[in-house]
Chain A
Amino acid sequence: MAADFACKTIDPSNPTGPKVDAIFPGDYTLRLYKYSRVDYENLRAARHVLEHAERVFFGVREFNEGGWCYTGRPIEWYVKEGVVASFPDNLIFAVYLNPNMRVYECRAEYVAPDNARCPKDWQKRYGGLTWKSTS
């Protein structure tokens, strides 16, 4: 069984404080490695987003308490076997974490028409914006 992997990211409960660990669970990453290779390769993009987040949203699920969505823009991503491409301008990469800061979903989403750093419909989907990059 693969071990968990931790990377440092913004603390969603205290964005101006010290960074905290976001955990890639070992059983989750192992499953992607064994059965969904493209998604496994795109964990690189997920790590980049966690370490260089542009937005953090709270209240990401209707039926599950808590949770966070970190968004950002990787330079490139893995499109299919053997093909790496620039990350498209009309997409944003989103990494979802549960209340225990465990990563459970890493994916591209369409950008909001009025804000290229936010996923489409973010105002309706999330509880709100916790933090945004000023750079």
Chain B
Amino acid sequence: MEKHFLADMMEGEGEPTFRAEPWYNAYGDCIVYKVADEAFVADRVDEWLTVYNSAVDGRAIGFQIKGVRAIITKFGLDGLAVSWKADAGCVQEISIMALLLAAYEQGPRTLSRRRAYAAAMESPAKRRTISADELQPA
């Protein structure tokens, strides 16, 4: 392939290393999680969850949770927290699984939704939390 149009901007940024961990995309107010560095086909489940299927072999390799601020507004950080800063009394880490459950609770209890959310929760996660400090929209 020809030179990447961003190649010059990335000079000096070091050697890329795939990271299978959830991250908050501030521009889209969503949490993205991929466990394999492969192209994916997005399969939208509902307003909150999109599952990523590998373009190589079709297996589920990740997901996206949308409307994160809306979920937090409804449930509160306390309702999604797994740890707190003891000195400041504020939420430090929130659970990705708790976010998924909160998203699931907002829609109809259909078999297809249940299966999709279960598949997302069964992702071979190495990290299942995200820092509350990261959840700041752009």
Residues of A within 8 A of B (CB): 2-3, 5, 24-26, 28-31, 33-44, 47, 61-64, 76-81, 84, 88, 91, 94, 96, 98, 100, 102-105, 107-110, 120-121, 125
Inter-subunit contact B138/A25 (CB<8 Å): yes
Alpha-carbon separation in the docked complex, A2 to B10 (Å): 6
Residue numbers in B under 8 Å from A43 (CB-CB): 4-6
Inter-subunit contact B70/A30 (CB<8 Å): no
Inter-subunit contact B47/A62 (CB<8 Å): yes
**Docked complex: B72-124 residues within 8 A CB-CB of A:** none
Alpha-carbon separation in the docked complex, A39 to B40 (Å): 9
Alpha-carbon separation in the docked complex, A81 to B39 (Å): 10
Inter-subunit contact A25/B27 (CB<8 Å): yes
Please give 18 more A-B residue pairs, beta carbons under 8 A apart, in addition to A44-B4, A78-B1. A2-B13, A5-B5, A5-B9, A30-B10, A33-B13, A34-B13, A34-B17, A36-B18, A38-B37, A40-B16, A44-B1, A62-B67, A63-B67, A76-B1, A104-B28, A108-B55, A109-B41, A125-B44
- Does any Cβ of A come within 8 Å of B42's Cβ? yes
B-side interface mostly: loop
Residues of B within 8 A of A (CB): 1, 4-6, 9-10, 13-14, 16-19, 21, 23, 25, 27-30, 34, 37-44, 47, 52, 55-56, 64, 66-67, 69-70, 138
Inter-subunit contact B19/A36 (CB<8 Å): yes
Inter-subunit contact B6/A79 (CB<8 Å): no
